[in-house]
């Protein structure tokens, strides 16, 4: 299931957007969350425990996002394979990714962060899809069926990826690796994705996200990952 519009985008289409947002409380800064000032991340590892990469050409590679004409620089290997798959499924099941509509960011050498998990870009282990549309501290950007799709993606990947919408300072555009280097689960999930890529009828675009069993599994994972 795909849609070209997020909840936030649709609300922007109304002339009375401000009144709608105030009335619903959606698309606003989450209660108790203030926008933090930029701080420089000077640790040798990002918040999720992966080593910071000092240059784009060191330990990264450029991945195609299947189904689009977009590419993204990510940590080479299992991390890149998994996050590129997240982007592909997001494109198919959440909202279409188009270069004209916003940025797709993987590895970044920008050490200025507002939330610790943003440092994961420094290790190439985070993916941001349209961060200007879904900024830090804002929740309620997606329709329920889009959230269902996001939850399904996370569950299919067995929890090796976490959604920024579940963090204490939410950022619904971000997905990041949530297991440490050397994770056996990450390796297993990656091998599954590689097998799906050469097996007809498997992988992105084949899921029934409304399957009750999948929804149950996704909800169970959400209860563990949500802040």
Position 193 in a domain: yes
- Domain housing 118: 7-11+34-225
Q: What is the pLDDT of residue 207?
A: 86
Q: How far is CA 102 from the centre of its chain?
A: 14
Position 120 in a domain: yes
Position 17 in a domain: no
Q: What is the pLDDT of residue 18?
A: 39
Hey, what are 3's tokens? 């849609």
Position 131 in a domain: yes
Q: What is the pLDDT of residue 200?
A: 84
Position 19 in a domain: no
Instruction: Please give the Cα distance from 196 to 131 (Å, whole number).
Output: 29
Question: pLDDT tens track of the chain, all 227 residues?
Answer: 554 545 554 444 443 333 333 333 345 555 444 456 789 999 999 999 999 998 776 899 999 999 999 999 999 999 999 999 999 999 999 999 998 878 899 999 999 999 999 999 999 999 999 999 999 999 999 999 999 999 999 999 999 999 999 999 999 999 999 999 999 999 999 999 999 988 888 888 888 889 999 999 999 999 999 86
Q: How many folded domains does the chain comprise?
A: 1
Position 76 in a domain: yes
137 neighbors 29 (Cβ within 8 angstroms): yes
Position 1 in a domain: no
User: For 210, phi and psi rounded to 5 degrees?
Assistant: -95, 5
Q: What is the pLDDT of residue 24?
A: 36
Position 21 in a domain: no
């Amino acid at each position: 299931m795909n849609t070209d519009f997020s909840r936030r985008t649709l609300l922007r289409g109304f002339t009375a957007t401000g009144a709608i947002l105030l009335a619903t409380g959606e698309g606003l800064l989450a209660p108790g969350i203030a926008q933090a000032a930029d701080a420089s991340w000077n640790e040798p590892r990002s918040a999720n425990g992966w080593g910071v990469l000092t240059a784009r050409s060191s330990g990264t590679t450029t991945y195609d996002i299947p189904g689009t004409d977009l590419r993204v620089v990510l940590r080479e290997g299992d991390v890149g394979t998994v996050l590129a798959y997240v982007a592909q499924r997001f494109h198919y099941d959440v909202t279409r990714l188009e270069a004209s509509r916003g940025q797709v960011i993987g590895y970044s050498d920008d050490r200025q962060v507002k939330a610790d998990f943003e440092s994961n870009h420094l290790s190439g282990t985070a993916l941001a899809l349209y961060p200007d549309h879904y900024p830090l501290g804002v929740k309620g950007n997606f329709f329920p069926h889009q959230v269902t799709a996001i939850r399904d993606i996370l569950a299919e990947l067995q929890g090796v990826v976490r959604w920024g919408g579940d963090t204490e300072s939410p950022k619904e555009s971000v997905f990041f690796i949530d297991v440490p280097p050397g994770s056996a689960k990450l390796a297993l999930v990656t091998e599954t994705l590689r097998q799906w890529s050469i097996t007809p009828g498997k992988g992105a675009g084949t899921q029934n996200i409304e399957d009750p069993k999948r929804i149950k599994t996704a909800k169970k994972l959400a209860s563990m990952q949500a802040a």
